[in-house]
A and B are shown apart, each in its own frame.
Chain A
Amino acid sequence: MTESDQVTPTTVSDELSNDVMTVTRLQVAIAAAESPAQSALTKLTLETDTSTPAGLFDLLQQVTQLLLEQRDTWTHFGASSESFEAIAAAEERFNQLSLQERAKFSAETLTNVDGVVRQKTEQAEPKTETDGYLVVTLLLGTAHDAPLFTEVTQVDQMRDRLQTILMLDPAYLLVLEVLWTPQQTDEVLSAAELETYFGDLGAIA
């Protein structure tokens, strides 16, 4: 692959034991009309044990695989990866990114965090439009000493990044959050909403 060799760890034990951490965000918008991704995410969330590292890693792999399979329906994408010298700084950045994304939802109708599953239903307003978007966000905190990648401008690069994530060493994964909207099947994210809340994503020409 073209750029999957960008990760050049010094020594494995060193990276895992030092305080340098990397926070990575991968975000993909999918044309919701023809995508089975929404129900797949719900199913994965309900089935995964998020209280164990193995469960988290499994979730990461499944979601990444799901996104790669849906490549033909991607409409927008964005990714960033930053390294931090101190745990506290990495943790703060992770929290910040998570909060930013979560604030875009009006309610969290399904959550599975640290093994605790919660569900609730929101009364959906009848939708006039049928085509809309589904935005999936992956947030990772890993033990890498250098960013996982530099910048992502082409859709091919985005695919390569996701493949890099797929091949991640399980020991490196410290924190994971998968966020997606809309979660309820009777909702769609309109083009205007996508523009308002996810305006920083690059469109696929």
Chain B
Amino acid sequence: MRCRQELMRNTVIRLGAIALSTLLASTLSVRLPTSPAAFTSTRLTWGADAFAQRSGGRAGGGSFRSSPRSSSPSRPSSGGGSSRPSGGYSGGYSSPSRPYGGGGPVIVPVPAGPPPVYYPPGGYGGYGSPYPTTTVTSGGSWIVGLIILFLLGSVGLPMIFAFIHALTQGSRAGIQRGDQELFNDIFTVSKVQVALLAQARSIQDDLNQMAEAIDTSTETGLLQLMQESVLALLRSPENWSHALVSSETVNGFEKADSLFSTLSLQERTKYSVETLTNVGGRRSSKTFTVNPDKGPASYILITLLVGSAHDQPLFPAVHSVQELQLALQKLASMPAEYVKVFEIIWTPQDPGDVLTYDELLTQYPDMVQL
């Protein structure tokens, strides 16, 4: 195929490992505005679009994980505080450091709940515990003492036990529901690939700007990149042409790592020059010579690869615009701590370069027309 020579251009943003040990106020927090030029030009090409542009404003911040409780000294690691260990796995071969070689479960958080000191007030206070000791000894009546002990035993103790029981039950359930996925050695590698009609060129500018601006060496930057790129896709469903998604759950960090690398390499070998890369915070760019003989630009192909802590595949195969929308939403909604690796690959990267219909068919034969 002549494509090998021509089908190049592209960008790869690879992000290496993310050490998940921070407090991560990230998910909801950071977002770059999408690139200025981008949406304007989209609109110009949309002639048929009945609706005009809709500018939006957005203000906010905060994080579910920076709630007051994480600063509470009595609950060391229960809710995802700063002491949570990283189970991170690094993406692909380009990542120099892999914080936790094996990844996976490192520490199981201690049961949530107040420390033991906390119980007495609830248990005894209500039942007059100071009383028995004084009355019993001064009165010398061991019968009274017995009765009080009996009362304490029959009423107080069960209540205390019930209280402790409820606490441990509650925290155990919490860990299972909330954190088990994060701490075990099961990972999910998902791929979402979308071919857009070339009139969505603005998305190219968008991605180029993101690749230039976002710091891919931080967890925050990584999340931001993922959310912004998904959002850019979600904003132009009228240009979606073909799609292919997959989500596979694997047991073990090594397997997840190699699956991710395989998928990434598969995509990256489909073009010959990476004209723009931003991996683990290192950027590089190359010039590309446009071949003037190529046909008219037809498509832009975007591939998102995500390695996450999920124990179940994220989505089934998609066949329609709605299903792709759901898959994209699922991807970008995932909690910050779940994201382990993210990579976005797109082609063509150079604005002068084109991906023709023939190239799409030969290089990406598995894609489903929407």
A residues neighboring B (CB under 8 Å): 16-19, 21, 41-42, 44-45, 48, 50-51, 53, 55-56, 59, 85-96, 98-100, 102-116, 118-125, 127, 139, 141, 143, 171, 173-184, 187, 189-190, 192-193, 196-197
Contacts and interface: CB of A to CB of B under 8 A. Distances in A.
Contacts of B287: none
A94 B64 contact: yes
Given A86-B177, A88-B335, A91-B336, A104 B62 contact: no
B234 A103 contact: yes
Interface of B: 25, 27-34, 36, 38-40, 42-43, 50-69, 72, 75, 78-80, 112, 114, 170, 173-174, 177-179, 181-182, 227, 230-231, 234-235, 329, 332-338
B206 to A, nearest CB: 10
Contacts of A196: 51
Contacts, number: 232
Given A53-B62, A99-B230, A103-B231, A124 B53 contact: yes
A185 to B, nearest CB: 10
B32 A96 contact: no
Contacts of A103: 231, 234-235
A141 B62 CA distance: 9
B63 A175 contact: yes
Contact of B60 (A91, A125, A139, A187): A139
A124 B50 CA distance: 15
Given A50-B61, A181-B57, A86 B333 contact: no
23 contacts: A17-B75, A17-B114, A19-B79, A56-B60, A86-B177, A95-B28, A95-B227, A96-B333, A99-B234, A105-B55, A107-B53, A108-B31, A108-B58, A109-B33, A116-B30, A120-B33, A122-B36, A124-B55, A174-B63, A175-B60, A181-B55, A190-B51, A192-B50
